[in-house]
């Protein structure tokens, strides 16, 4: 209820209803000071024990001079420090590899942990949404350990209870920028533990020369380049099918020709046959002498060659049925690798619908039934859309070079590949930096790896053709004589 009060210039309303609101105030419990001191002391002691357990070498190096100075005087401490330093410096100069393995990377990991990750961990976690600040307390993921290599920092992190891998993979850009890295990759180490890889540099920024032709015949895996960790990258071709996708100038030819180069001794020995489909007449035509009559460029000839490969596959399947389940390359039954450059032209872009149906049916048959009997397909294309290449999921192993759009990464490598660090859309378009750089996702592992295929020049291809024909011609002539 309200009533008016008299006044000369203004009327005021005054409530006559009594105020019955009840204000609830939370009870405040005063913690005794001794309990607070005990808690802080316990946390300090636990932190010191944890620090000693995780970094015994670093603590020994830091505390030993002070302890010696206190016990024996500064002269003894100075001599004790000078002798190891005088040994470590020449070791680092004359045998850098062993020094890094035993000392260098450990010291760098300790420094990076203190100066980069511990220093920025809380703000990066909170701002990116991977940590929580509730009721005055921070709930943060915990760094379990850190290792440094020549090119990256590798952190093992324990997630907060209730988090998922997707929570981290959706924030790889936040993590990369937060810690000043080029990129970030997330992989699962085991339940509750993640491995975060932060590259410090790009070891694949320099083009690689063609890999030397192997001395012994083998069907693979064939060495075609280098992995990001510096180890050789070997591509499996026998017992699988490989799909290579990349924009124009991304370096698809480096993978095709490096595979042929690695199989050349086995081709000379009769253990491998490479059948080449080259509708562009630009890439595989340099090696026509290597392929012989198993080369096709016209769409009709490509359809005939693919159907011939299907007949070889079916004939082997009839003979192998009930006898063997895996193919072993022999001269009688060599491994057949079908190379298809720009497969999208054959399956989507040409005008003859009859040829498209024949080619698509033959490729589908080979990719579903061929690898058990020693017939593999390695196909390259520019446009990975489903309507262009509707059998891309039939290729167990996939390679993504530079792509135009981020959505294309998952089209090629499978769902979630980009969230796991396969940033194929960010590969440099400059040939000297990005040609041949790719992310590979194998059938046996969902985690993509970054590699670079060696560049096989036109001169290298002509030398390969001359070597192949030069080695086989004398044998054929001797057999005819």
The pLDDT value recorded for residue 314 is 93
Q: Which of 111, 92, 112, 93 is closest to 103 using CA atoms?
A: 92
**Of all helices (H) and strands (E), which one includes residue 225?**
strand 222-227
Please state, as a whole number, how many other Cβ atoms lie within 10 Å of the Cβ of residue 355. 17
456 contacts 210 by C-beta, under 8 angstroms: yes
Domains and CATH numbers, the chain: 51-94 (no CATH), 102-201 (3.30.980.40), 222-472 (3.40.50.300)
| Sheet strands (E) in 341-477 | 375-381, 397-400, 437-441, 449-453
**Of all helices (H) and strands (E), which one includes residue 395?**
none
The pLDDT value recorded for residue 28 is 64
| Low-confidence stretches of the chain (pLDDT beneath 50) | 471-481
The pLDDT value recorded for residue 433 is 86
- Strand pairing report for 295-296 and 272-277: parallel
Q: What is the 3-state secondary structure (H, E, C) of 35-101?
A: HHHHHHHHHHHHHHHHHHHHCHHHHHHHHHHHHHHHHHCHHHHHHHHHHHHHHHHHHHHHCHHHHHH
CA–CA separation, 183 and 258 (whole Å):
28
The pLDDT value recorded for residue 255 is 94
226 contacts 232 by C-beta, under 8 angstroms: yes
DSSP 421: T
The pLDDT value recorded for residue 419 is 83
271 contacts 335 by C-beta, under 8 angstroms: yes
CA–CA separation, 443 and 148 (whole Å):
28
424 contacts 379 by C-beta, under 8 angstroms: no
pLDDT tens by residue, 71-95: 787 777 777 777 776 767 777 777 7
Estimate the share of the chain in helix, then strand, then coil, as percent rounded to the nearest 5.
45, 20, 35
pLDDT tens by residue, 392-404: 889 999 999 999 9
The pLDDT value recorded for residue 110 is 87
Stated pTM of the model:
0.77
The pLDDT value recorded for residue 285 is 86
């Amino acid at each position: 209820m309200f009533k008016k009060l008299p006044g000369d210039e203004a009327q005021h309303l005054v409530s006559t209803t009594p105020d019955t609101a009840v204000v609830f105030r939370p009870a405040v419990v005063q913690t005794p000071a001794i309990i607070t001191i005990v808690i802080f002391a316990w946390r300090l002691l636990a932190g010191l024990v944890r620090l000693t357990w995780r970094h015994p070498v670093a603590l020994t190096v830091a505390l030993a001079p002070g302890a010696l100075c206190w016990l024996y005087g500064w002269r003894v401490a100075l001599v004790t420090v000078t002798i190891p330093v005088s040994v470590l410096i020449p070791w680092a100069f004359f045998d850098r590899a062993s020094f890094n393995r035993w000392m260098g990377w450990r010291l760098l990991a300790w420094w990076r942990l203190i100066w980069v990750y511990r220093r920025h961990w809380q703000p990066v976690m909170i701002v990116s949404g991977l940590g929580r600040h509730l009721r005055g307390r921070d709930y943060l993921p915990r760094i379990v350990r850190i290792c440094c290599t020549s090119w990256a920092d590798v952190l093992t992190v324990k997630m907060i209870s209730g988090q998922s891998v997707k929570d981290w993979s959706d924030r790889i850009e936040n993590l990369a920028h937060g810690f000043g890295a080029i990129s970030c990759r997330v992989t699962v180490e085991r339940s509750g533990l993640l491995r975060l890889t932060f590259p410090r540099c790009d070891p694949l920024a320099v083009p690689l020369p063609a890999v030397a032709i192997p001395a012994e015949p083998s069907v693979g895996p064939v060495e075609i380049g280098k992995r990001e960790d510096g180890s050789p990258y070997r591509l499996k071709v026998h017992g699988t099918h490989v799909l290579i996708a990349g924009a124009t100038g991304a370096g698809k030819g480096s993978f095709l020709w490096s595979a042929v180069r690695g199989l050349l001794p086995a081709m000379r020995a009769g253990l491998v046959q490479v059948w080449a489909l080259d509708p562009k007449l630009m890439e595989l035509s340099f090696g026509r002498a290597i392929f012989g009559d198993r080369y096709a460029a016209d769409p009709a000839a490509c359809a005939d060659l693919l159907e011939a490969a299907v007949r070889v596959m079916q004939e082997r399947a009839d003979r192998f049925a009930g006898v063997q389940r895996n193919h072993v390359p022999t001269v009688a039954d060599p491994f057949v690798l079908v190379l298809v450059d720009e497969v999208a032209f054959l399956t989507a872009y040409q005008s003859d619908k009859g040829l498209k149906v024949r080619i698509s049916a033959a490729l589908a048959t080979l990719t579903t039934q061929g690898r058990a009997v020693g017939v593999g397909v390695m196909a390259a294309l520019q446009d990975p859309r489903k309507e262009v290449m509707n059998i891309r999921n039939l290729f167990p192993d996939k390679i993504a070079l530079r792509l135009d759009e981020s959505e294309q990464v998952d089209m090629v490598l499978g769902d979630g590949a980009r969230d796991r660090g396969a940033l194929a859309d960010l590969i440099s378009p400059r040939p000297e930096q990005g040609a041949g750089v790719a992310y590979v996702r194998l059938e046996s592992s969902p985690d993509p790896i970054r590699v670079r295929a060696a560049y096989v020049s036109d001169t290298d291809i002509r030398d390969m053709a001359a070597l192949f024909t030069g080695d086989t011609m004398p044998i054929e002539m001797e057999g005819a004589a």
